[in-house]
Structure 1
Amino acid sequence: MAHVVAISSSPSSTSRTEAVLGTVTGALSADGHDVHTIALRGLPAAPLLLGDATDPSVAAAAERVTTADAVIVTTPVYKASFGGLLKTFLDLLPQYALQGKAVLPLATGGTPAHVLVVDYALRPVLSSLGATHVTPGWFVLSSHVTVAADGSVLLDEAASTPLAEVTRQFADAIGRLSPVRAAVAVA
């Protein structure tokens, strides 16, 4: 199966964005994919803010992205755009870091007014990084996600059904791209 890297850009480990990502990565892992999550909040702030791609932690995270078969990108929506932590990290990736990869963009936010962030703010940045196939993403309203005190997650049907569908489409794209990547590697 494919090696999938999930980029978590929420500043909180208990956020709704993190809960949505866990739902998607859990489904992909259950399907046999090797999924690794990079929590950007765990990277050192100074190198990120100074654009130091040579910092060992930042370089290792970037290497994981460039060597992955597929990438999931998650972000909370702030001020009608994707998070600055994500933008800072994406700016440090090599120009074509997403070339040959399927990419699944996911966002969470408090109002449906921000639903277009996925397609009009995030998708162009991912495409500029050479993403071969940016699959349909999804915006999840925060009110559709409940995180219990024990850490369990409950997505209401308005979130769970479309999230399952975009996850399936992403998995299908990985399956279509894997033979292409294997053929390129042999050549």
Structure 2
Amino acid sequence: MAALMIFEATLLLSLSSVAAQSFATRNIRLGSSLYTTAAGNNFSYWLSPSGNFAFGFYPLSDHQQFIVGIWMPKTPENTLVWSADRDGPPFSLGSFFSLTRNGTLILRNREPQIETISINTTPASLASLLDNGNLVLYNSQSQVIWASFDSPTDTILSGQTLNNGFKFSSSAPETNYSTGKFQQFMQSDANLALYYSVRGSKDNHHKR
């Protein structure tokens, strides 16, 4: 039980009693872009319809470096609940994010380096940040082809399903939000196991 208390992953309950499938959406169209700004204005993030979640460039402590993620802007701490490429280098001023006209999510740092966030074989027609904190891409038939819920980092949100192989990890200190030492993994025997990782090893510590 003590290990579970140490585990840094945050389990957040729904802000509403509405079922996850019925959360309102706000469409993000092809060609839409976000840019890093020192002031963190509305050019650097998109809001869900209720404003409970934001997706975009999340400023680190010096406000000159950013990670791309989803957070809760109405909380005093601007709680981060998901991040892309959490173990990669932070992004600097001059970086941008785009839902390209080819239907993929890309990041470009100030240097000429492009990183693809979504790995989808079918081009997206639009994206939405739902009111449960799930960022989704849709194809031309309005079917979900990619979702941030399918690649969690350190937080489970309302509406996420813990399928076989589902894994999430604690975060390192808040200065960088990279992968921490604890992982939870949904095993094939339906046990949710907690692991403590040291120098690449994985020790089973607790099962639920």
TM-score by length of 1: 0.29
More helix by share: 1
TM-score by length of 2: 0.27
Higher-Rg structure is 2
Larger RCO (CA within 8 A; separation ≥ 6): 1
